[in-house]
Chains A and B, each alone.
Chain A
Amino acid sequence: ETGVTQSPTHLIKTRGQQVTLRCSSQSGHNTVSWYQQALGQGPQFIFQYYREEENGRGNFPPRFSGLQFPNYSSELNVNALELDDSALYLCASSLDLEKYNEQFFGPGTRLTVL
Chain B
Amino acid sequence: GESVGLHLPTLSVQEGDNSIINCAYSNSASDYFIWYKQESGKGPQFIIDIRSNMDKRQGQRVTVLLNKTVKHLSLQIAATQPGDSAVYFCAEIENTGNQFYFGTGTSLTVIP
Contacts and interface: CB of A to CB of B under 8 A. Distances in A.
B104 A45 contact: no
Interface stretch (A13-21, A51-59, A63-71, A73-81): A51-59
Interface stretch (B14-22, B44-52, B68-76, B77-85): B44-52
Interface of A: 2, 4, 33, 35, 40-45, 48, 55-56, 58-59, 90, 92, 97-98, 100-108
Contacts of A102: 46
A53 to B, nearest CB: 12
A101 B49 contact: yes
Contacts of A2: 43, 45
Contact of B45 (A44, A56, A59, A105): A105
A100 B1 contact: no
B34 interface: yes
Given A45-B102, A92-B43, 13 more contacts: A35-B102, A41-B105, A42-B102, A42-B105, A44-B1, A48-B98, A56-B99, A98-B97, A100-B32, A100-B49, A101-B46, A105-B43, A105-B45
A58 to B, nearest CB: 7
26 contacts: A4-B43, A35-B100, A41-B104, A42-B89, A42-B104, A43-B100, A43-B102, A44-B102, A45-B99, A45-B100, A45-B102, A55-B98, A56-B96, A56-B99, A58-B100, A92-B43, A92-B44, A100-B32, A100-B34, A100-B93, A102-B46, A104-B46, A106-B43, A107-B42, A107-B43, A108-B43
Contacts of A103: 46
Given A41-B105, A100-B32, A100-B93, A58 B99 contact: yes
